[in-house]
Amino acid sequence: MRAVIRRFLKLEASGGILLMMATLLALVLANSAAKSGYQAFIQYPIGLTITHCHRPLLWWINDGLMTLFFLHVGLEVKRELLVGALASRSQAVLPVMAALGGMILPALIYLGFNAQDSLAHAGWAIPVATDIAFSLGVLALLGRRVPSALKVFLLALAIIDDLGVIVIISLFYTHQLSLLPLAGVLVILLWLLLLNRRGVTAITPYLLLGGVLWLGLLLSGIHATLAGVVVGFVIPVCRQPSSVAVGPAQRLEQRLHPWVVELILPLFAFANAGVALQGIQLEQQNIALPLGIILGLLIGKPLGVFSFSWLAVRLHWAKLPEGVQFSEIFAVAVLCGIGFTMSIYITTLAFESLPMAYGGYARLAILIGSTTAAVSGYSLLNHRLPKPVKTP
């Protein structure tokens, strides 16, 4: 299991670096003479000739490729719950409490700043997310100075955070339901559960039914990317702790992981982080939205993660990871303010039917808040962790 975690963290860290590069490239292109070419690229229509259904590339990335990301998240969460860092109560309590605090306080701060703007209320979940790839990428810059227990804590916290965001999306970002496609979705779901109950270990039937489930959710009004999570939860997991991925869920997760962190997430960042700064003017009447997001990420996240972690330890519900101090927990809590991928994704859901200014302000705030959290978290950890030993 430790070997699996090491491989996971190493790949996740490289994905975080790619995310940073894709984000910077998108910002440069969106604010240069090449902005028309950038917009033409992400809005390029792609579709199936048979169905005459053409959607822009941006839609296929956000609603299509991101389904694979959510499939990976579903597999990841299930593995951690059954055989990983969340498999026992003693292991799970601290990151669960930390993640809970890290979701509640940012949402309250955002709603506090945007109480007067009913349209902005839809974005309350934007600052609740933590970007696994980005945060672990920053952590990787400190090398072996970071205790492995601290890395596992951040990984478990971010995974629980992702699960919370999935629940939020399914409950609060679902459009008006269409009953006939929804009935088909329920039939496919029962079929998937039947495959699981019968112990089918072949991956292909799950993926084929998952494709039909994706289409059914799209037609029903529920966000189609949630099909990935459902499929990830129903694929069987081998419960024998091992460094070798022997179960179908572990095998699929291992195969998907490089594609998700090194292609899908950087492509998502490139397509969604291109905020044109020329037309954005922050004035008193529109400052509440970005300020709520920025402070939610920079104050709500670290305060929520740290205070709930401290409370869990003080009440003897959990123990600090071996070799980890509260000062290091606080530094990691600051890193959790890197919302980025999931925050941008929720922005597309929350403000897709509102004036473009809402999405523009939100994306700019996410970039400012996440970058500041990354720099601050790195600085705190760099100051707190033991200095590397210099060899003569």
pLDDT band of 11, cuts 50, 70, 90: low
**Model confidence over 221-248: pLDDT tens digits?**
787 888 888 899 899 887 665 444 467 8
**Model confidence over 125-176: pLDDT tens digits?**
999 988 877 787 788 777 778 887 888 888 889 888 888 888 898 888 876 7
Residue listed under structure tokens 């189609």: 224
- Is the confidence at residue 345, as pLDDT, over 80? yes
**Model confidence over 321-338: pLDDT tens digits?**
888 889 999 999 999 999
Greatest mean pLDDT among 96-105, 255-264, 272-281 lies in: 96-105
Nearest alpha-carbon partner for 235 in 290, 183, 178, 197 = 197
Separation between Cα atoms, residue 256 and residue 252, nearest integer Å:
6
At how many degrees (to 10) do helices 203-220 and 226-234 cross? 150
Eight-state DSSP code of residue 126: G
More confident residue, 69 or 2: 69
Give the helix/strand (H/E) hosting 46: strand 45-48
Confidence (pLDDT) at 7: 55
Contact assessment for residue 67 and residue 213, using Cβ atoms and an 8 Å cutoff: no
Nearest alpha-carbon partner for 38 in 265, 273, 363 = 273
**What's the angle, vertex CA 253, arms to CA 251 and CA 257, rounded to 5?**
125
For the record, the structure tokens of 107 come out as: 């949402």
CB-based burial of residue 119 (10 Å sphere; 0-12 exposed, 13-18 middle, 19+ buried)? Answer: middle
Confidence (pLDDT) at 187: 93
Separation between Cα atoms, residue 204 and residue 71, nearest integer Å:
14
pTM: 0.79
Confidence (pLDDT) at 241: 52
Contact assessment for residue 265 and residue 69, using Cβ atoms and an 8 Å cutoff: yes
Separation between Cα atoms, residue 149 and residue 346, nearest integer Å:
30
Q: Which residues pair with 54 in a beta bridge?
A: 47
Residues in the chain: 392
Residue listed under structure tokens 């205790």: 147
Nearest alpha-carbon partner for 274 in 34, 25, 40 = 25
For the record, the structure tokens of 256 come out as: 């998907």
Separation between Cα atoms, residue 222 and residue 226, nearest integer Å:
8
Confidence (pLDDT) at 45: 86
Confidence (pLDDT) at 326: 92
> What are the DSSP calls for 76-99, one per residue?
HHHHHHHHSTTSSHHHHHHHHHHH
pLDDT band of 392, cuts 50, 70, 90: very low
Q: Which residues pair with 55 in a beta bridge?
A: 46
Separation between Cα atoms, residue 74 and residue 78, nearest integer Å:
6
For the record, the structure tokens of 211 come out as: 């494709």
Nearest alpha-carbon partner for 252 in 7, 76, 13 = 76
